[in-house]
Amino acid sequence: MSALNTLKFVSAKKPTQLAPIEIRRRKLSSKLWSQIQLANALNNGESYTEKKFRTLKDRHTGETRSVEVIKRIRQMWFVNENGKVCVQIKYGSKILEFSKGKNAIEVSSGEELITVLNTLKTAVESGELDNQLNLAADSVKEKFNK
């Protein structure tokens, strides 16, 4: 018996482009991953930074080179007037609303913050926030069409 006879062969075509909602999910999921890493670091009393490469051109020689720079990460959470920590998710410049008039999640501790961020990341990846992502993306697009 041949080894190839044990395999299942199919005719498949690799997609050339992702659906817009899938791109939005991945973008927000990576932002939430950064927030989780930041929250873990702050909870442990450490600092967390991400690095990215930036291409610079030398004015005198005209050569281009890649330089590693620190990427700024803004916290998605803040402390409200009651002393509780509130988490807001931004997509672009828009804050996502989870339900009518509710745009934040209140947590009481750093451990709970990490749990909430993990839950939000799972919800984004499973498509539970697709409607909110589409609304935010559409409102951002409107500004460009003016």
96: enclosing H helix or E strand:
none
Segments making up each domain of the chain, as ranges: 19-145
Average pLDDT rounded to a whole number, residues 88-104: 89
Q: Please say whether the beta carbons of 35 and 29 come within 8 A.
A: no
> What is residue 146's predicted lDDT score, i.e. its pLDDT?
65
Cα-Cα-Cα-Cα dihedral sign, residues 144, 98, 35, 45: positive
Supply the pTM of this predicted model: 0.78
Q: Please say whether the beta carbons of 32 and 124 come within 8 A.
A: yes
Average pLDDT rounded to a whole number, residues 83-94: 88
